[in-house]
Amino acid sequence: MAEKKLGWAIVGLGEFATKQLIPSFPLCKKSKLVALVSGDPAKAQRIAAENGVDPKNIYNYQNYDSLRDNPEVDVIYIVLPNSMHAEYTIRGAQAGKHIMCEKPMATTVEDCEKMIAACQKAGRKLMIAYRAQYEPYNLKAIELAQGGQLGKLKVITADHGRILDPAKPQDKWRAEKKLAGGGSLMDIGIYSLQAARYITGEEPVEISAMLHSTPHDPRFKEVEENVNFVLRFPSGVQANCTSSYGYSDTKRFQVFGSEKVLTLDPATDYYEHHLSLSGKEGKQEMKIKEENQFALEIDHLSECIQQNKNPKTPGEEGLQDVKLMMAIYESARKGKPVVIKN
């Protein structure tokens, strides 16, 4: 008999939740959308009606904790501004629910640790929504890099950029340090950092970084525009990463091996990735079946709950990135490399 689908509640009906996550639920095999949490009742009612969510399962930020009394909800997915992730994760775990939390996990190391502790105490799973680690092109790139098909890995470059536009509601809070925690690094540079870590399968031992924001640009009064950082890994691989709110739509990485160079561009888009290998024999495009990465990651957590397994990207994975991002900021502030103790 097919296992029952787990019930999911989405918290925060913003750009990403409404355009990417909610439309992916019909593709899920183990998960269904059953509840919404929003500060805007009219919007929540409209989205509930469009997606077959029972209007009695609409909550707001005040009655959020009463999700505890709703047995239809197994998992809460936090899709709020970054600095709100900790509070809603902790309250969600205390309400007895499993948690999926968007990246970055939180804006401080202390908040990440509190989130992990709260989920452990409640005996609930915590997963960070690192969608690229469930996306088939990225998985292929990991397999090729770690399987030796590129020869010995030497260097990785990873670049993530987009133009911050505070005229858009989703970019307003991104320009505020209190809500975003930081600038382009916390938002998209985290994909460059993640790529360097999952491609090598290693943790960096040293980080050097530089920051620059265009002087007098009001968008960068509180958060940084550009971050360039270099990660040194134990094997000797070095990753050159960039992150920017000043150059447009870039989401790519390259892996340079002694035999071949792998290019994934775009690497971390929502759809339509392009993977190629180049070497002595020329350039070879690799086509893989595209799959909806949001449905894959959502179902991964449901499966982990059903089978009592640890998620592949648990809270500890989110904590590690936040620790490393703090080291990136520290290196830039001090103007010297920071040694990482793992």
Nearer to ligand NAD, 197 or 232 (CB): 197
**Gap between the terminal Cα atoms of the chain:** 45
Question: Which among 130, 191, 198, 329 is annotated as catalytic?
Answer: 191
The two beta strands, 250-257 and 261-264, are antiparallel
Strands 226-232 and 238-244: antiparallel
Torsional sign, CA 314, 80, 86, 177 = positive
Stretch that binds ligand NAD, among 67-75, 78-86, 242-250, 255-263 (CB under 6 A): 78-86
Amino acid at 291: E
Contact call for residue 16 and ligand NAD (CB under 6 A): yes
Nearest Cα residue to 227 out of 264, 188, 269, 258: 188
Decide whether 233 or 294 has the Cβ nearer to ligand NAD. Answer: 294
**CB of residue 297 to ligand NAD, shortest distance in Å:** 9
| Count of residues engaged in binding ligand NAD, rule: CB under 6 A | 20
Q: Looking at 5, 30, 32, 103, which residue is catalytic? A: 103
103 is catalytic: yes
301 binds ligand NAD (CB under 6 A): no
Find the binder of ligand NAD among 7, 81, 204, 311 (CB under 6 A).
81
Task: Give 169 or 335: the residue with its C-beta nearer to ligand NAD.
Answer: 169
Query: Under rule CB under 6 A, which residues in 17-46 are in contact with ligand NAD?
Result: 17, 39
Query: Helix 109-122 vs helix 315-334: angle between axes, to the nearest 10 degrees?
Result: 170
**Could you tell me if residue 282 is left (phi over 0), alpha (psi between -120 and 50 degrees) or otherwise beta?**
left
What does the alpha-carbon distance between residue 195 and residue 247 come to, in Å, rounded to a whole number?
Answer: 19
Q: Which of 91, 97, 98, 131 binds ligand NAD (CB under 6 A)?
A: 131
Known catalytic membership, residue 191: yes
Q: Which stretch binds ligand NAD (CB under 6 A): 79-87, 153-161, 273-281, 312-320?
A: 79-87
Sheet architecture: strand order including 98-101: 58-59, 31-37, 6-11, 75-78, 98-101, 126-128
Q: Minimum distance between the CB of residue 173 and ligand NAD, rounded to whole angstroms? A: 4
Least distance CB 13 / ligand NAD (angstroms): 5
Contact pick of 82, 194, 200, 254 for ligand NAD (by CB under 6 A): 82
Question: DSSP letter string over 248-280?
Answer: -SEEEEEEEESS-EEEESSSSSSS---EEEEET
- Give min distance, CB of 155 to ligand NAD, in A: 26
With beta carbons less than 8 A apart as the criterion, state whether 61 and 82 touch: no
5 binds ligand NAD (CB under 6 A): no
List the one residue out of 273, 176, 186, 175 whose CA is nearest residue 229: 186
Between 259 and 271, name the residue whose CB sits nearer to ligand NAD: 271
Cβ-based nearer residue to ligand NAD, 170 or 284? 170
What is the set of active-site residues?
A: 103, 191
Q: Which residues bind ligand NAD (CB under 6 A)?
A: 12-17, 39, 79-82, 102-103, 129, 131, 169-170, 173, 179, 187
